[in-house]
Copies of this chain bind each other. A is one copy, B any other.
Amino acid sequence: MDELKLRILTDGKNLGGGILKVDGFINHQVDPALMESCGRELASRFARVGATKVLTAEISGIGPALMTASHLHVPVVYARKTKPVTMPDQIFLTLAPSHTKGRTVELIVSPEYLGRGERILIIDDFLATGQTIMGLVRLAQAAGADVVGIGALIEKRFEGGRELLSTLGVPIEALALITDMSEGRIVFGQ
């Protein structure tokens, strides 16, 4: 998606070590118009998978997931990383190693909002190692729901997430696919 790629090239920063800074338009400051376009595009790419719900992880997945869900006219659930007081005692919980945080995080969803027969579209800001998304897949499976697609704004192809997730046999879409970030480069692929 050219609009996102152009924005990454103009406002994104390759900080080295595979870290792409997109704090100016996705992860800290958010451009609502860009997020709207990305949500519309993801909704369009997954228009035929019959999703009944979008699932993401707090924090930075919320924007893209909300905008995608808005265009698909389905609810969005964001997995929590800490259990709020409003959540019941019985929950779905999985652990996912976070590359950028350097530690393992909990992903928690209430059984009230994820159930058998749901058709789940997973949306996140990044597809990198795929560990967070695989955590969301496990939550959906634990609930007896079917994962019908996986979408991300930005994929870092060289971190192997697509290989991990391709075993699921569902469509995987990324709006900006980055194949190389070595030596300060930001190289897009198809």
User: A112 to B63, Cβ gap below 8 A?
Assistant: no
Decide if the interface of chain A is mainly helix, strand, loop or mixed: mixed
Q: B85 near A28 (CB under 8 angstroms)?
A: no
* A73 partner residues in chain B, CB cutoff 8 A: 32-33
Q: In the bound complex, how far is the Cα of B30 from the Cα of A58, in angstroms?
A: 12
Instruction: Please provide the chain A residues from 109 to 146 with a CB less than 8 Å away from any CB of chain B in the complex.
Output: 109-110, 112-113
Q: From residue A90, how far is it (CB to closest CB) to chain B in Å?
A: 14
Q: Which of B24, B59, B113 is the one whose CB lies under 8 Å from A23?
A: B113
Using known A-B contacts A23-B87, A113-B23, determine if residue A70 contacts B28 with beta carbons closer than 8 Å. no
Nearest Cβ on chain B to A7's Cβ, whole angstroms: 12
Interface residues of A (CB under 8 A from B): 13, 15, 19, 21-25, 27-33, 35-36, 58-59, 62-63, 66-67, 69-70, 73-78, 80, 84-87, 100, 109-110, 112-113
Q: A80 to nearest B CB, angstroms? A: 6
Q: Do A66 and B30 contact each other (CB < 8 Å), given the known contacts A23-B113, A59-B58?
A: yes
Q: Which of A33, A78, A100 has most B Cβ within 10 Å?
A: A78
Could you list 7 A-B pairs, sorted by A, with CB under 8 Å?
A19-B86, A24-B113, A25-B75, A27-B86, A28-B87, A30-B78, A36-B70
- Docked Cα-Cα span, A5 to B13, in Å, equals 43
A82: nearest residue on chain B (CB-CB)?
Answer: B101
Which chain B positions have C-beta within 8 A of A31?
75
Name which residue of chain B comes closest to A108, CB basis. Answer: B28
Complex alpha-carbon distance, A30 and B67, angstroms: 11
Please report the C-alpha to C-alpha distance between residue A28 and residue B24 in the assembled complex, in whole angstroms.
25
Complex contact A113–B28 (CB within 8 A) = yes
Find chain B residues with CB under 8 A from A19 CB.
85-86
Q: From known contacts A23-B87, A58-B58, infer whether A70 and B100 are also in contact, taking CB-CB under 8 Å.
A: no
Q: How far is the CB of A121 from chain B (nearest CB, A)?
A: 13
